[in-house]
Amino acid sequence: MTKLSTDNLYHYTKKKSDFKSIIQNGFEYRRCKEDLPLSGFSNSPFSIPGVIKHLISPEVVCFCDIPFNLVSDHIKQYGEYCIGLTKNWGMINGITPIRYVHQYTPDLRDDKFYTLRSCADNLPRYNNSMLMLIDEMLSKNDNHEKLNQKDINELSDKWKKLISQLECEFLDLIGFSQNYIGNMKTYEGYWKDRVINKNSIRRFYDEREWRALKLNPKMTHLTFAWSDITEIIIRDEKDNGEIINVLIKKFGINKDNVQTKLFLIDEIITQQ
């Protein structure tokens, strides 16, 4: 039976300088702009699926598990330099298949999800205070009298402690929803073709993306050991000596070790 996915994860890039940097320093987390086809509240005139777009830009490292016999288009778009790593390494490092969504995905049309997303967007305006955010939401009701500092000061210590704990739990919930969204991508959407430089509709689902999401602000790179690498794939013979030297210097291995994992892109595709 023909496999629809590989046993390893692959990261493709166009520039040799970027490829060398990956070998030397690991994968750098970079902003990835996504346009998700979410909807508004169900009672909103703008709740029609696809009318409201939600832009996110999580910091990520992207991989795929497309078999080599199906990867030609992916290579054209993303580059002929490639590093392959074991899926076990990927899973240990929290790399996961992303979720592809469309304008009718049920839970993304649910008001609860939209409320969480709206809170996540607006919390920074209220110094991450759940109390002040909810007070502002209630203020849209004519019968609600907004809180002031005196109201808060007059609360008993018991209520202040309870509200403080609730705010911690609420912020954790908001953080979870933000990370949840960070591992989403639209099933298909507009794309500027990197070969012909023209806009088109691309089915992103075919990219079989796995994603490492930056969850710790102090994280800058996703690193790996020589034993984690399954393949080093380069564009042509001219790159051979240069890449070998980079690998030897980085991992302290000899040329024979490198040759066991080093391939030309044409060799890899032809083998399948």
Fill in the DSSP letter of residue 29: P
| Residues 83 and 215 reside in one and the same domain | yes
pLDDT for residue 46 is more than 60: no
pLDDT of residue 180: 85
Q: Which residue has the tokens 């346009």?
A: 35
Query: What CA–CA distance (Å, rounded) separates 43 from 188?
Result: 27
Tokens, residue 192 = 């500027």
Report the C-alpha gap between 74 and 61 in whole angstroms: 16
For 213, the enclosing helix (H) or strand (E) is strand 209-213
Specify whether the CB–CB gap between 55 and 33 falls below 8 A. Answer: yes
Residue that finishes a domain, picked among 153, 182, 211? 182
Of 31-45, 174-188, 212-226, 242-256, the one with minimum mean pLDDT is 31-45
**Higher pLDDT, residue 115 or 101:** 101
Q: Quote the domain boundaries for residue 37.
A: 1-98+183-272
pLDDT band of residue 175 (cuts 50, 70, 90) is confident
Chain centroid to CA 72: 23
Of 148, 166, 182, which closes a domain? Answer: 182
Q: Which residues contact 122 (CB under 8 A, 6 or more apart)?
A: 133, 136
Backbone φ and ψ of 8, nearest 5°:
-125, 170
Average pLDDT over the chain, rounded to an integer = 88
Is pLDDT at 39 greater than 80 in this prediction? no
Residues 175 and 227 in one domain: no
pLDDT, position 44: 60
Same domain, 82 and 132: no
Task: Tell me, yes or no, whether 158 and 213 share the same domain.
Answer: no
Q: Among 154, 182, 210, which residue terminates a domain?
A: 182
Cα–Cα distance, 54 to 67 (Å, whole number): 32
Distance CA(224)–CA(213), nearest Å, equals: 16
Structure tokens at 121: 């967007």
User: In Å, how far are 149, 196, 236 from 80, measured between CA atoms?
Assistant: 60, 17, 9
Question: What pLDDT sits at residue 40?
Answer: 61
High-pLDDT (> 70) share of the chain, %: 93
Same-domain status, 44 and 152: no
What's the whole-number mean pLDDT along residues 182-200? Answer: 91
What digits encode the pLDDT tens for the residues 203-221? 999 999 999 999 988 999 9
Residue with tokens 């007059």: 154
Residue 172 sits in the same domain as residue 200: no
Same-domain status, 18 and 44: yes
Same domain for 76 and 200: yes
Higher-confidence residue of 46 and 33: namely 33
The answer to which of 14-18, 40-44, 249-253 has the lowest mean pLDDT is 40-44
Q: Are residues 52 and 111 in the same domain?
A: no
62 neighbors 32 (Cβ within 8 angstroms) = yes
Looking at the structure, tell me whether residues 46 and 165 fall in a common domain.
no
CA 20, 91, 114, 108: dihedral to nearest 10 degrees?
100
Q: Number of folded domains in the chain?
A: 2
What pLDDT was estimated at residue 270?
A: 61
pLDDT category of residue 188 using cuts at 50, 70 and 90: very high
Q: Which band of pLDDT confidence, cut at 50, 70 and 90, is reported for residue 59? A: very high
**Tokens 């949840």, residue?**
180
The alpha carbon of 99 is separated from its chain's Cα centroid by a whole number of angstroms, namely 10
Reported as a single tens digit per residue, the pLDDT across 228-258 is: 999 999 999 999 999 999 999 999 999 999 9
- Are residues 187 and 61 part of one domain? yes
Average pLDDT of the residues in 93-102 = 95
Phi, psi dihedrals of residue 104, rounded to the nearest 5°: -110, 10
Q: What long-range pairs does 129-132 form, CB within 8 A, spacing at least 24? A: 129/167, 130/163, 130/166, 130/167, 130/170, 130/171, 131/163, 131/167
Same domain, 154 and 246: no
Q: What is the mean pLDDT of residues 138-143?
A: 76
